[in-house]
DNA sequence: GGAATAGTGTCTTTGAGACAATATCTA
DNA sequence: TAGATATTGTCTCAAAGACACTATTCC
């Protein structure tokens, strides 16, 4: 609660506020699979080690927690306009060697083009690590990443989240590819199509086609679609 | 992240830590439906008004955030041994008139017997309010309750959470009743049975039966079951 | 035996998954 | 036109929902 506090009145000495920060797991898709984007820490402790993008809450600058995350992503990683979701909050005495701390964890998904754009904007480059080859992360960041991967996998299967990892317009084949890369198993395109069409979550975009082809020869291009909603739509079944 | 912080070095003056507390939505089932348990605030602001159970994080006493919630529930509401789940974190400048604050919200489900036991333990009595007749709650507690109700409803449909709102042993009829009261629609007992049995989440308890009967006349008693796992088991479909 | 609820079986419907068949596009 | 995909259609299977039927229990 807020301000309710009972019994032996807590004095300032007893009540030291914990440090409060936000951390964000940035996901992106490489041709080989899901990756997490890391940045080197710019100060002690663990200076130079790869970590999640994060920063302290600044009450004087941020109106809400969401503002905090967006500010941190923008200022430290050049990331803007991505799908962002609160993951959970981790707090305790042992997660940071400097003392009791709280981290409100988020995750975001970045279409490929935004990775490059962000790097350019912030004048830095990410370390894009496959999720099964994560380095030893400082603090409890490994746990946060694990929770984020779990959430992402679940949500890819029962929502239109895959659409947020793609360019604004995409083909079924691309959507299917996201699905398969994240879930690590193949999906029948027919089922996927039926599901998405029945749910009426996609909008055919113009009559334009996509060049297509993977190099040797060009093939029939797929239709382009766009998500109708700017937020993921949830299904009540799992695929 | 934790300690990473960039650019124009933030001075102590710029960086005022937000107040950090936990708030918990306590759910219980009355014969008429889902209720939330509220307590009167014991201090300003909003002294005397019904609110969620909550309290500040005490770094010197609590090892983790979970410890904080359990301590607060125990000390302020006499609640122990219930299923507890983190709901989300709400933070911003406007949610509490005293200034920037963060609330890590949880929800818990209480079997009926635990409501009375808790009240006795803490020497108080809850205000048990039907979720569609909530009073005007202080701060952003209405929003927190709304999020909790949404989560609870979703989870009742795809997990064994209903079992945690019942006594340690229960009949199918009782499980079904939880389902129906929370979801507000009727369910076919046959489907529910098949689902729970196939998932193998229940354990038949002894050969004991339950008295049964609702007053006028006694009927065939149902078998008693117990949940196998101390945590909710999730299904991949919705019912 | 009769009332009332518990527990089981069957049929229907819906949707996922597999896979076959057809449609299109470009070099 | 050939090669490579895209898109559509069909069949099978699994599970939910509806509902009928049987089993128990207590009065």
For A126-143, what is each residue's pLDDT tens digit?
999 999 999 999 999 999
Among the ranges given (A169-183, B163-177, B212-226), the one the predictor scored with the smallest mean pLDDT: B212-226
Report the pLDDT value the prediction gives residue B1, as an integer from 0 to 100: 44
Q: Is A216 exposed, middle or buried (0-12, 13-18, 19+ CB in 10 A)?
A: exposed
pLDDT band at A216 (very low <50, low <70, confident <90, very high): low
pLDDT band at B15 (very low <50, low <70, confident <90, very high): low
Asked if B221 has any chain A CB less than 8 Å from its own CB, the reply is: no
C-alpha pair distances (Å), B9 with each of A21, A72, A99, B4, B12: 16, 14, 21, 11, 10
Report the pLDDT value the prediction gives residue A149, as an integer from 0 to 100: 98
pLDDT tens for each residue of B134-156: 999 999 999 999 999 999 999 99
Q: In chain B, which residues from 45 to 64 place their CB closer than 7 Å to nucleic acid strand C?
A: none
> Cα(A58)–Cα(A43) distance, rounded to whole angstroms?
18
pLDDT band at B206 (very low <50, low <70, confident <90, very high): confident
> Cα(B164)–Cα(B63) distance, rounded to whole angstroms?
26
Distance in angstroms between the alpha carbons of the first and the last residue of chain B: 39
For B49, nearest residue in chain A (alpha carbons):
A4
* pLDDT score of B59 more than 70: yes
* pLDDT score of B227 more than 80: yes
Among the ranges given (A226-235, B18-27, B160-169, B199-208), the one the predictor scored with the smallest mean pLDDT: B199-208
pLDDT band at B220 (very low <50, low <70, confident <90, very high): confident
Q: Which member of B4, B22, B52 has the closest CB to residue A43?
A: B4
Asked if A59 has any chain B CB less than 8 Å from its own CB, the reply is: yes
Report the pLDDT value the prediction gives residue B7, as an integer from 0 to 100: 41
* pLDDT score of A113 more than 60: yes
> Cα(B89)–Cα(B193) distance, rounded to whole angstroms?
36
Question: Is residue A172 within a helix (H) or strand (E), and if so which, with residue range?
Answer: helix A172-183
Are the beta carbons of B33 and B45 closer than 8 angstroms? no
Residue position matching structure tokens 């009240």:
B119
More confident residue, A17 or B152: B152
Asked if A159 has any chain B CB less than 8 Å from its own CB, the reply is: no
Give chain C positions with protein CB within 7 A: 2-10, 15-20, 23-27
Asked if B175 has any chain A CB less than 8 Å from its own CB, the reply is: no
pLDDT band at B16 (very low <50, low <70, confident <90, very high): confident
Give chain D positions with protein CB within 7 A: 3-10, 15-20, 23-27
Which of 11-40 (B) contact A at CB < 8 A? 14-23
- For residue B179, give the nearest of B169, B193, B168 by alpha carbon: B193
Q: Protein B215 CA to nucleic acid C5 C1', in Å?
A: 13
Asked if A175 has any chain B CB less than 8 Å from its own CB, the reply is: no
Among the ranges given (A11-15, A176-180, A191-195, B43-47), the one the predictor scored with the smallest mean pLDDT: A11-15
Among the ranges given (A70-79, B54-63, B77-86, B212-221), the one the predictor scored with the smallest mean pLDDT: B212-221
Q: Which member of A20, A94, A99 has the closest CB to residue B17?
A: A20
**Percent of chain A scored above 90 by pLDDT?**
79
* Kind of pairing between the strands at A53-56 and A19-30: antiparallel
Q: Protein B188 CA to nucleic acid C12 C1', in Å?
A: 15
Q: A18 and B59 in contact by Cβ < 8 A? A: yes
pLDDT band at B98 (very low <50, low <70, confident <90, very high): very high
Asked if B102 has any chain A CB less than 8 Å from its own CB, the reply is: yes
- For residue B145, give the nearest of B41, B29, B24, B48 by alpha carbon: B24
Q: A21 and B2 in contact by Cβ < 8 A? A: yes
Report the pLDDT value the prediction gives residue A9, as an integer from 0 to 100: 46
Chain A contact set for B9 (CB, 8 A): none
Angle at the Cα of A191 from the Cα atoms of B183 and A172, rounded to 5 degrees: 110
Q: Protein B135 CA to nucleic acid C9 C1', in Å?
A: 48
Q: Protein A219 CA to nucleic acid C23 C1', in Å?
A: 12
Q: A236 and B236 in contact by Cβ < 8 A? A: no
Are the beta carbons of B161 and B155 closer than 8 angstroms? yes
* pLDDT score of B133 more than 70: yes
Report the pLDDT value the prediction gives residue A44, as an integer from 0 to 100: 79
Q: Is A107 exposed, middle or buried (0-12, 13-18, 19+ CB in 10 A)?
A: buried
Q: Which member of B3, B42, B64 has the closest CB to residue A4?
A: B42
Report the pLDDT value the prediction gives residue B207, as an integer from 0 to 100: 62
Are the beta carbons of A40 and A48 closer than 8 angstroms? yes
């Amino acid at each position: 609660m807020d301000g309710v506090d009972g019994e032996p009145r807590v004095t300032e000495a007893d009540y030291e506020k914990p440090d409060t920060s936000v951390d964000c797991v940035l996901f992106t898709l490489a041709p080989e699979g899901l990756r997490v984007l890391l940045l080197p820490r710019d100060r002690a402790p663990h200076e130079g080690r790869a970590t999640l993008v994060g920063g302290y809450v600044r009450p004087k600058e941020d109106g809400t927690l969401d503002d905090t995350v967006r500010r941190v992503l923008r200022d430290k990683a050049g990331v803007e306009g991505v799908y962002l979701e609160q993951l959970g909050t981790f707090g305790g005495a042992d997660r940071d060697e400097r003392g009791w701390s709280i981290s409100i964890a988020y995750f975001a998904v970045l279409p490929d083009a935004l990775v490059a754009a962000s790097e350019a904007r912030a004048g830095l480059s990410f370390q894009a690590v496959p999720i099964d080859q994560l380095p030893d992360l400082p603090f409890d960041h490994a746990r946060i990443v694990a929770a984020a991967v779990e959430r992402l996998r679940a949500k890819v299967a029962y929502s239109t989240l895959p659409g947020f990892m793609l360019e604004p317009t995409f083909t079924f084949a691309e959507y299917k590819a996201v699905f398969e890369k994240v879930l690590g198993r193949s999906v029948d395109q027919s089922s996927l199509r039926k599901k998405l069409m029945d749910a009426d979550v996609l909008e055919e975009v113009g009559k334009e086609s996509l060049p297509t082809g993977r190099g040797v020869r060009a093939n029939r291009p797929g239709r382009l679609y766009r998500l109708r909603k700017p937020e993921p739509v949830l299904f009540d079944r799992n695929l």
